Amino acid sequence: MIKKLLIANRGEIAVRIMRTAKEMGIKTVAVYSTADKNSLHVELADEAICIGPPKSLDSYLSIPNIMAAAEVTKADAIHPGYGFLSENPTFAKIVHASGIKFVGPPPEVIELSGDKLKAKEMAKQANVPMVPGSDGAVALMDAKEIANEIGYPTVLKAAAGGGGRGIRIVRDDRELSETIQTAMSEAKSAFGDDRVYIEKFLTNPKHIEVQILSDGKNIITLGERECSIQRRHQKLIEEAPSNSINDKEREKLYQYAIAFAKEINYVGAGTVEFLYVDGDSYFIEINARIQVEHPVTEMTTGIDIVKHQLLIADGESLNIDSKKPKGYAIECRINAEDPVSFMPSVGAVEKLRLPGGFGIRVDTHLYQGYTVPQYYDSLLAKIIAYADTKEEAIKRMQRALEEAKIEGASLKSNIDLHKKILDTTEFKKSEHHVRFLESML
């Protein structure tokens, strides 16, 4: 069994992983940059070791530094969380080669999952429907031919893209000619890979994803999540289950997710993501890691996803069956950003009041007096509300947001934006889509 787990991450996800590990009797090791020396995950861990200066490239993205920390602390497993090195196949290979357990899919699966074109090819082999578009990377002439065949508007995507980056909407031949070279250059700069592909631009789709767990032999689903409230392709509010689909469509999504996972020999926790329009679902990608929004699935299924990640990494077989969601959960991502300009906000937390009460969960690394650093993502906390129905969950979340206070002289948050979204008729009736927030603002 895993005896000591190094968590190669920071913030709320490091705290969340640490708590499950402790409940399982596993010792924990926190790694931190000098900017995070006073972070909560450092204080809660059994051991903590500094891995470098504030810049991510020199700390949380430094494979040599993290591996040295694992060696010094004699950790026998590493959990990468999400972001940073979580979907880096080279990191996973090095961890395995060092005789340390990697809490995630095998390196070859991570590599395939991170290449959108290879993933699309495997989805096609598994008979999973995809958005009409190119079968592979395209140059200008091919892109024009495909665009005129499927019809404008279209979207150019980076083959190695992720996190909403590497996406450009194109509306005609002229714009395609002007955009494709820029898109390739941006992809090369951001991902080290200049390949781009083209797809039909779907008008106002919904974003629905299926949570899976696999031990290499058995694949189960833990229901679906709707993540249609987004800003600049970044998820802001997530729900489980989705009120936008019926049971027949839901079952179809589960079967697609399982078929794709089988095709790529998936192991661990993962999320198969789809766009949904007018009764049709289209595969877009698989995330080979735990997701930010995993708590809504845990609340509606009663399954601790991190626990099962650790058990699978330990070589244990899944001892649970697929779970259909019970009740309704909503997650609001509370970010440190100006509510008007959306510019990142940093500074000391001078007033902190976290919500509580029946059906409320808060995942955070904040405490009063903590200083939010400027070097990392803006996520401060995730507030999750659970109830029997969506209507009740919204009311519970609205109450929780009223209770929540995260304030400082220079620190701002998006709490008020969440209040506005939850109060819209579109959200209450599940009539929202991935571009709803743009139209609302």
- How far the first Cα of the chain sits from its last, in Å, is 50
Are 136 and 229 part of one and the same domain?
Answer: no
Are 163 and 238 part of one and the same domain?
Answer: no
Domain membership flag for residue 325: yes
31, 51 Cβ separation under 8 angstroms:
yes
Are 218 and 283 part of one and the same domain?
Answer: yes
Domain membership flag for residue 86: yes
Instruction: Say whether pLDDT at 338 is over 90.
Output: no
What is the average pLDDT across 262-274? 98
Rounded distance between C-alpha atoms, residue 302 and residue 325, angstroms: 9
Model confidence at 163, pLDDT cuts 50, 70, 90, reads low
397-417 pLDDT tens trace:
999 999 999 999 999 999 999
Among 163, 185, 200, the domain-final residue is 200
110-134 pLDDT tens trace:
999 999 889 999 999 999 999 999 9
Are 373 and 431 part of one and the same domain?
Answer: yes
What is the average pLDDT across 265-277? 97
pLDDT for 167 equals 87
DSSP string, 272-313: EEEEEETTEEEEEEEE-S--TTHHHHHHHH---HHHHHHHHH
Are 153 and 168 part of one and the same domain?
Answer: yes
Are 231 and 174 part of one and the same domain?
Answer: no
Higher pLDDT, 116 or 79: 79
Model confidence at 420, pLDDT cuts 50, 70, 90, reads very high
Domain membership flag for residue 140: yes
pLDDT for 205 equals 96
Q: Across all residues in the chain, what is the average pLDDT?
A: 95
Nearest to 81 by CA among 290, 295, 366, 362: 290
Are 356 and 379 part of one and the same domain?
Answer: yes
237, 229 Cβ separation under 8 angstroms:
yes
Domain membership flag for residue 380: yes
351-399 pLDDT tens trace:
999 999 999 999 999 999 999 999 999 999 999 999 999 999 999 999 9
157-to-102, 115, 145, 200, 227 alpha-carbon distances in Å: 30, 11, 17, 11, 20
Domain membership flag for residue 387: yes
Rounded distance between C-alpha atoms, residue 239 and residue 413, angstroms: 21
When divided into structural domains, the chain yields a total of 3
363, 298 Cβ separation under 8 angstroms:
no
Rounded distance between C-alpha atoms, residue 74 and residue 127, angstroms: 45
Rounded distance between C-alpha atoms, residue 223 and residue 210, angstroms: 6
Q: How many CB atoms lie within 10 A of CB 389?
A: 11
**Which range has the worst mean pLDDT, 24-33, 186-195, 198-207?**
186-195
Domain interval for residue 71? 4-103
75-to-78, 99, 160, 189, 391 alpha-carbon distances in Å: 7, 10, 31, 34, 45
Are 258 and 305 part of one and the same domain?
Answer: yes
Among 103, 122, 156, the domain-final residue is 103
Instruction: Kindly report the CATH number assigned to the domain that includes residue 69.
Output: 3.40.50.20
Rounded distance between C-alpha atoms, residue 19 and residue 46, angstroms: 11
Are 196 and 292 part of one and the same domain?
Answer: no
201-254 pLDDT tens trace:
999 999 999 999 999 999 999 999 999 999 988 999 999 999 999 999 999 999
pLDDT for 290 equals 98
Instruction: Kindly report the CATH number assigned to the domain that includes residue 167.
Output: 3.30.1490.20
Domain membership flag for residue 231: yes
436, 206 Cβ separation under 8 angstroms:
no
pLDDT for 340 equals 79
Model confidence at 152, pLDDT cuts 50, 70, 90, reads very high
Looking at the chain, the whole-number percentage of residues with pLDDT higher than 70 is 100
Are 297 and 427 part of one and the same domain?
Answer: yes
- The residues annotated with a catalytic role in the active site are 289
Are 330 and 431 part of one and the same domain?
Answer: yes
DSSP string, 360-421: EEEEE---TT-EE-SSS--EEEEEEEEESSHHHHHHHHHHHHHH-EEE-SS---SHHHHHHH
pLDDT for 129 equals 97
89-102 pLDDT tens trace:
999 999 999 999 99
Domain membership flag for residue 338: yes
Higher pLDDT, 402 or 140: 402
Domain membership flag for residue 403: yes
Among 200, 222, 254, the domain-final residue is 200
Are 272 and 390 part of one and the same domain?
Answer: yes
Instruction: Kindly report the CATH number assigned to the domain that includes residue 417.
Output: 3.30.470.20
